[in-house]
Structure 1
């Protein structure tokens, strides 16, 4: 009886180990690498890196992704997803609600993040707009030619930096326009607001900001300046 009991226990252990290995393999993070095609990261799967050259990247709600990179395409991140890094050259980055984002970067494209989301690092663009609605950002907001809107009680723990255009190829003629920076109602920028070029800076009466270098804030009290 003892020998039979030992065999049964051993078989159960082997079976359990096999099931655990199969389960872990089914949910292992995977990479997707394409050239002329879009990528769809679907719910129920885990992903490490998503890379394409000419195509959009769509990440379903609740999906965990380490990095999403494209050259000519948009990146769309669904509600409650977790993405450590999102980068595109010619395309926008759209982030849904309650998303945990590490960092986002574009050259020619908007970065738009919806309510309840958080950014643990920084957001950067050259010619695109940064638009935040009830978002927590632990890092900085950086741009050269783009507008920045910090709205609906958003909090930026770092600084805002608008850099002087270098005259490089990516800047084109966009450096002739004056970027518009809006800090909306009940929003806060705890770090410095540094402007290395001419900007229009509008700050709501209920907003709080750090030191301003290179611009004169214009106060407003309505929904928009």
Structure 2
């Protein structure tokens, strides 16, 4: 009887443990963070390391300084932020806050949802069939609002300044609003860009750039 009681208690603790620790934060200084597929965690933070979240996992905010952030399919997370690193989000992910990077690109795949803004300084922004409740903002990065995407808060290119982060870009940024894409709100360009807007796309008022209309799946080569 005593052995059976101990086994029952051990089983109960094992079953309860994931729920008890599921939403704990994970903080590091040097080292990467991995949340396995189907797992739950709280906020994720590291300084020198990447962050990877497996498919169907749930987490809070994910932040790093020197490292990339990668989310697999069907992930639910908070905001994503890095300074020196890229952010890649696979299909059907839901982000409950914004996405931000300085020196690194942002790509969000089909069926994605972002409840906030997407901001970079020197990194490209790429969306495919993604819904963004906020706007897009960058200084030097290319932007592609890909087929079927909907950006509700407009698009803003800030003017580069002498205090901007260093960039080796030698050409003007390239902006593409793709087939059946929608950008609500103003598109404001405080610097020179090359802007392509598909004939089936819809945008708000454009200031500071002249849109070049195109047909087909891709704009003309530069």
Tell me if the contact between 1:27 and 1:45 (Cα under 8 Å) persists in the aligned partners. no
Aligned pairs for 1:85-164 (under 5 A) are: 85-101=79-95, 102-164=97-159
| Separation in 2, partners of 1:52, 1:178 | 33
Please report the RMSD computed on the Cα atoms of aligned residues, expressed in angstroms.
Answer: 1.9
- Tell me the TM-score normalised to structure 1 length: 0.87
Structure number with the higher strand fraction is 1
User: 1:32–1:24: structure 2 CA closer, same or farther, 3 Å change rule?
Assistant: closer
Match of 1:6 in 2: none
Tell me if the contact between 2:38 and 2:58 (Cα under 8 Å) persists in the aligned partners. no
Aligned pairs for 1:155-174 (under 5 A) are: 155-168=150-163, 170-174=165-169
Match of 1:219 in 2: 213
Match of 2:30 in 1: 36
User: 1:220–1:44: structure 2 CA closer, same or farther, 3 Å change rule?
Assistant: closer
Equivalenced residue count is: 208
SS of the aligned residue for 1:89 comes to strand
Tell me if the contact between 1:133 and 1:152 (Cα under 8 Å) persists in the aligned partners. yes
| Separation in 1, partners of 2:164, 2:184 | 33
State the Cα distance separating 1:63 from its structure 2 match.
1.2
| Separation in 1, partners of 2:164, 2:215 | 39
Tell me if the contact between 2:38 and 2:54 (Cα under 8 Å) persists in the aligned partners. no
The unaligned stretches of length 5 or more in structure 2 are 1-8
State the Cα distance separating 1:27 from its structure 2 match.
4.6
State the Cα distance separating 1:139 from its structure 2 match.
0.5
| Separation in 2, partners of 1:83, 1:164 | 31
CA radius of gyration, larger in: 1
| Separation in 2, partners of 1:168, 1:71 | 20
State the Cα distance separating 1:169 from its structure 2 match.
5.2
Match of 2:39 in 1: 45
State the Cα distance separating 1:80 from its structure 2 match.
0.7
Moved over 6 A (4+): none
| Separation in 2, partners of 1:215, 1:114 | 27
